[in-house]
Amino acid sequence: MISYDEALARLTGAVQSLPGETIGLDAAEGRTLAKRVVAAIDAPRADVSAMDGYAVRMAEAQAGDWLNLVGEAAAGAPFGGDMSSGEAVRIFTGAYVPTGADCVVMQEYAEWNGDRVRFREGFGPARHIRKRAGDFAKSSTLLEVGQRLTPRAMVALAGADIAGIEVTRRPKVAVIATGDELEQPGLAHLSPHGLPESGSYGVAALAMSCGATLAERMRGRDDLDVLSGLARRALDIADCVVVIGGASVGDHDLARPMFAGTGLHEHFARIAIKPGKPVWFGMCGDKPVLGLPGNPTSAMVTARLFLAPLLTAMQGGNGADEVRFIPQILAADLPPNGSREAFVRARATEGGLLPADNQESGAQAPLASSDWLIRRSPNDGPCSAGEVVRAIRF
């Protein structure tokens, strides 16, 4: 068995970024850039006021003398001229600062009389002017290749006056659940030995949250001919195939044999982690195939650890960024860890990360409330509440 880090390096190193496509701004959220974004304009496009107040010369405002109000400036409606000595312009946030002014005095310090204004002491030394290109300059790089367009990044993208961008095509993912015991949810109670098939729903949802689209969700019984047909269909319609179950070495474990004849090149099988020892990965030409454990909770944990970085890499991003473990406070004691690296399901509380009471690979109820995975090293000793652990969002 290899380590998690070694398996992750093999997986992300094997996949290539999908081709790019040009899309409009309305469809850009969540996509990954295939070409850097360069600003089309300065931001701001001129010196603008950061406050409601009066545009003046600083030296004249400090003198406390009356200044003549000669006009008004608002966002999108600038003052139509130059400001001379002894003058002031009423100005509002976002308005262009008139030529001749070097300061905006907040209106709270103003005293006015008809068309004249003067200012009380205490308004300085801030000038409350946002300088032209102080945020970014025209032709400067705002967003880099491989960056995912979060809602925050969308603000910068639109603010740069960009209407269309080049992004990596979304990966199409096919998910195949295997097992004679699996039934369609809602029908399992009709079979005395049936189990609702749940893993494919969670794995498909996780894939879509990582920017993929679902080509098809399939289910097949433990029959090599049936599963081989599903494997061929999945490779025909998808960029990436995920197989749930059948990953061990028993007579009914057909996840890898089902790809015989497809040119599958295996990169690893069996990893020294818990849960997830049976995880395997290979390539059929340029299409990745990821095998996950059959237990739905184990499938979800390993999908977070492997499928998320795989899909990020396929979209031109850095797959390792998806699994950067950060320090977190532990809210309850943890017993010593075994010989395999472990990923403990936990939920965030005010006191830190609280591990789920039931860490069994088949436990689905605690899965719903677990939003973090705590990473524990092999043979790690007991951990006490208040200690710092490494974790990622789940």
CATH number of the domain residue 144 falls in: 3.90.105.10
Percent of the chain whose pLDDT exceeds 70: 99
Residue 192, domain CATH: 3.40.980.10
- Report pLDDT digits (tens) over 220-259: 999 999 999 999 999 999 999 999 998 765 556 799 999 9
Are residues 342 and 314 part of one domain?
no
Q: Which helix (H) or strand (E) holds 13?
A: helix 4-14
Specify the DSSP element, H or E, that contains 286. Answer: none
- In the numeric block, which tokens belong to residue 130? 């946002």
- Name the least confident of 62-66, 167-171, 211-215: 62-66
> Is residue 107, in this structure, part of any structural domain at all?
yes
> Nearest CA to 33 among 195, 141, 178?
141
Query: In 3D, which of 4, 10, 15 has the Cα closest to residue 315?
Result: 15
pLDDT score of 219 = 96
- What is d(CA 345, CA 163) in angstroms, rounded to the nearest whole number? 42
Is residue 141 within 8 A of residue 43, CB to CB? The reply is no
Q: What's the mean pLDDT in 145-167?
A: 95
Decide which of 109, 143, 168 is a domain's last residue: 168
pLDDT digits (tens, 9 = 90+) for 325-384: 999 999 999 999 999 999 999 999 999 999 999 999 888 999 999 999 999 999 999 999
pLDDT at residue number 249 = 59
- Residue 23 placed within a domain: no
Residue 247 has a pLDDT of: 72
Phi/psi zone of residue 246: left (φ > 0), alpha (ψ -120 to 50 degrees), beta? left
Domain residues for the domain of 242 are 4-17+170-323
Among 168, 193, 227, the domain boundary falls at 168
In this predicted model, what pLDDT tens digit does every residue of 286-327 receive, in sequence order? 999 999 999 999 999 999 999 999 999 999 999 999 999 999
Domain assignment present for residue 96? The answer is yes
Q: What number is the average pLDDT over the span 133-153? A: 96
Are residue 221 and residue 317 in the same domain, yes or no? yes
Residue 240 domain-assigned (yes or no): yes
Residue whose tokens read 């998806």? 322
Mean pLDDT for all residues in the chain: 96
- Residue 124 — pLDDT band, cuts 50, 70, 90? confident
**pTM (two decimals):** 0.88
The closest of 124, 157, 133, 136 to 51, measured between CA atoms, is 124
Residue 22: inside a domain, yes or no? no
Count of H-run helices and E-run strands, the chain: 8, 26
185 and 300 share one domain? yes
DSSP states of 40-98? SS-BSSS-EESSSEEEE-HHHHHHT--EEEEEEEBTTB--SSPPPTTEEEEE-TTPBPP
**What is the end-to-end Cα distance of the chain in Å, rounded?**
25
Residue 189 burial by CB count (10 A; 0-12/13-18/19+): exposed, middle or buried? exposed
Q: Are the C-beta atoms of residues 359 and 348 closer than 8 Å to each other?
A: no
pLDDT at 165 over 90: yes
Contact 342, 361 (CB under 8 A): no
Residue 250 resides in a domain: yes
pLDDT value at 14 more than 90: yes
236 and 218 in one domain?
yes
Residue 25 lies in a domain: no
How far is 240 from 234, CA to CA, in rounded Å?
Answer: 8
Do residues 289 and 371 both lie within one domain?
Answer: no
Does 180 lie in the same domain as 314?
Answer: yes
| Percent of the chain with pLDDT strictly greater than 90 | 94
**pLDDT tens digits, residue range 20-34?**
999 999 999 999 999
Q: How many CB atoms lie within 10 A of CB 324?
A: 9
Tell me, yes or no, whether 193 and 274 share the same domain: yes
pLDDT of 1: 92
Last residue of a domain, one of 307, 323, 339: 323
Number of structural domains in the chain:
4
Clarify whether residues 182 and 211 are in a common domain: yes
pLDDT in tens, 67-82: 999 999 999 999 999 9
208 within a domain of the structure (yes/no): yes
Do 268 and 381 share a domain, yes or no?
no
178 neighbors 255 (Cβ within 8 angstroms): yes
Smallest CA-to-CA distance from 389 within 360, 353, 356, 335 is with 353
pLDDT at 297: 95
